[in-house]
Structure 1
């Protein structure tokens, strides 16, 4: 019988969505499956965009919906980046960041995101220098950043937004674990070229439903038209997302557990010879390991029914990215890594 695997490699939320989300699926009926939405009759795109506008206290016309955060990143680039125009991204970032400009024959430019002690951080001075030199049309900032796990501080974010006012800034908050609706509202109200993107995939454990949303600064009305779907969106997905929004206590409990386990991974893995774990604000943690143990560790973990991400990128090629699972799964993983280390590292 094949061993059941525990997957901690794709930054999914293994706790699963709130019980209220399953209730929506149980009660789905003909009207949700066979009929288009009538939300347009009230002058809004959908029941979800309407609710999010209330949550963030901004006009509904400045809320956009997509098929996950990835879809909104793609649509924003296709809407605004022209052939030969430049997109600036962090050096250590999601692999898709490095490909997305190619889809519109744009030019990819990287700015430094560097390790500094226990964490990675944005090199703001180097970012400004690169911006002045390259004059990009768009700039991506990921906070928390995948795969490094670090966030940009509010102070540095404001500095960046003040300096880069001629560019379209996309603040990718797919891995947010602190709602901070008022802070986000103030940002998009203060910086008209800012787009903040979030998703229901990570925090709300709804990756399979593919629900993302964006909040627009006042100058980005074109993206609202570009992303609009005049026959509406996936009606059941929207209802599930609303159920998630109505279950804050469930998700706050998960966030507390993840915070505890992030600290556990950071502390315990840094005790292992040759391991360097970096502090993270996301639902994963990045760990540098000795290059020579990668293949053996991967096979050992697989034999234990555990799968983590072994990074294979130019700048991160002897690193693990460990998705935080349930507390039981995390305990199994840390015990397995310790067992391997005890037998293979001095």
Structure 2
């Protein structure tokens, strides 16, 4: 090699030329978004920063352009402009709980749409550790906090204290904490179950109720109300566990033509008990659960269940949190109950996919 060969020449020889491979993609800028949408650079910037002085229609137009052009924002630059980190903390009670997982999925999807980062921490079996992690995370430049799924009541209070002036949104019952709250409409879930059984002409109804669960009690109240309006008195069996309680009530399982349970675990236990008695689920007896856990779809008789709307709750909670952060939502905190959905499957006679 010629020792006098220029360094620039060495650099060019070490990397492929544009002709030898696909050209590198130029980074898309705000100016590109401005030209694409026909909006001013200032309007595009305000829309990207979720400013309250931009209409929802304009904001949606800019976000669609960002997706079309594959715009990747610089968090560092945006942080310098807005004074925010574009990051929030999400506390989850138990990552094994189906509702909490659905709620967190909704949070993350909405955060991705709004270009926010989410730091996730779990309470699990260590509430004290969760509190320490919350304090550590909120010590950084975090814009807001969110609770996805049920946690210990005192943790919500501690989270509210750690938040300070930053907004907090919860997707669980939080006694004594004043913040925006999103919850499933549990009485309506119970009403949906009762209406489903009655619409199929079932009149000898059995309801398996989970003891010690306040939300299950609300679902039972909704179920009873619809039955009372129809002039029907269902048999209510209280359950402290699953299989053992169900097996103790064989007579009830034989006589009922419609069985509902306050959660999917009890419903699955009833399903197997009916099958052992020779009663075909979805034919001789209809069965419904509540919670729409993943197991519902993989059973030999896919279980009809009520979806509590966890994903929608997470999405709406994250949207509200960002609106509070950006000042687009002001005023007193509110409590919103999200409508559940009935997911009909084989155990109420629906055709299998």
- TM-score, normalised to structure 2's length? 0.31
Which one has more relative contact order, counting CA pairs under 8 Å at least 6 apart? Answer: 1
Whichever of the two has the greater Rg, that structure is 2
- TM-score, normalised to structure 1's length? 0.32
